[in-house]
Structure 1
């Protein structure tokens, strides 16, 4: 899959193509419905399938105080987009100048002139251009003038049948610790990615050495608690492998803690992961991802070390059950 990070990188004469547009944060199942339709349209006509997306998130430029926590790193987003069968992704740098482009200018210069769009596939809530003035109606009007058709993909509903799959829904579920439900929206476990740094080393002293992620790790962090999940080490490109055909990294079963460690009167909120049964790993300085499969319990304050260790052993046993990992003989 080709990745262009500037409009000028699109080869002259590119096209014809089927094009879609969106932030694609998390590349959730609602996004996949649109992306799959784009790939199918391109294959049916012998065109190329292209997604237009942005980095950073537009709100991070226009209203930083309202910008949501990302659901994925840019690298992970690109890996997930590649898995859909797209031929190319145009990842436009979102700037204050681009935000001022009118819907007509954006469609003319990006979709029609640069990408040679013959069909544009979008979800029902698509908005674009200055002040989000462009919508599906705008696309249809411009398409009739510029020579492309518009295919609207209806919203898909989450498991409860009441809410549509969206990045907002995924974030809400993650924030409340409902990582199983979030995985239903995303189509895979949610992950947080960061560099492993030194912590207080209490886990090692207790026999449960943990990998502590930097506080600027990327990915919406679930509510405080203990989770069963996976620690993913870097693949060949130095990025923790996605749950995809690009996954060349090592995936290790882990018990993940999110919180301030109240038993020791901690103040800093951390994400830390204990790889089950492993005390030999040296992960310091590595960029890793932790994936949240299921919430086991809330964060608790224990009266002493013995009761804490007993609970940690119980957490590890429960993690093995959830992840289907055998207990060592």
Structure 2
């Protein structure tokens, strides 16, 4: 198969569909649910490193995405480290993609929340379009899942709750993300979850650049209605995607799999949601995921606040059960001692 190295950005042919070493830069890369996970960076000669872009001095390459490369840079006037996304030269020549970059900045810059990656500035310098964002020192949820196989329910729920809090805030600002997935959830070293990449976000209170009938997003986590027409979705598409993310986190697999994107999209439209056999998942978490991933948007959990309430009920129930077991233990000890 062909895939793109998440560090140097080169398209490479690989035979191992689970992991490979980039023949160009030597990066060690894992593959999970069609997403490449950078496990160890290689060596690449990048002419941008050391260059100055406006007020920013580029320090090192962090990785490469679908729209361009991301660098660690320093905002020299404040000496603040930032993540600097630079649009590729090829895409910079396309007005539609340039508008999307500006849309990403507009959508994200208005969102000030501890669980959303902050956007500081967007502009053009030295013929390069760029976005300066908060630098998150940590890992993407996709990498954590890849390394550990799957997460314990409580840990996964606490991450999902933080993301739901950020989505609740974004939705109140009339912004729909449209690409919630493990790769777009960054985890700091302190365990704080932050939503990244507002690249295809949609403002419900302003005209969009997405043409009717266009499909945008990541198939493995995409809501059925988004798989038909991404221009018409509302906040409930994010709830579905967050449910699919929770599914992946607690099972270690994606809800619907396939050899191609069209196959995945076809399955999620018609096949019922099933949980893998042999993976222990509580009935409460299964019920939460199923309600978040209802194919009928009207039957789905309707708001991120509802998701938070459901998560809190599960986490609270777990504490109550633990307290109950603890009380039972001490009663047994007391009886034995009598």
TM-score relative to the length of structure 2: 0.25
Give the helix-richer structure, 1 or 2.
Answer: 2
Relative contact order higher in (CA < 8 Å, ≥ 6 apart): 1
TM-score relative to the length of structure 1: 0.26
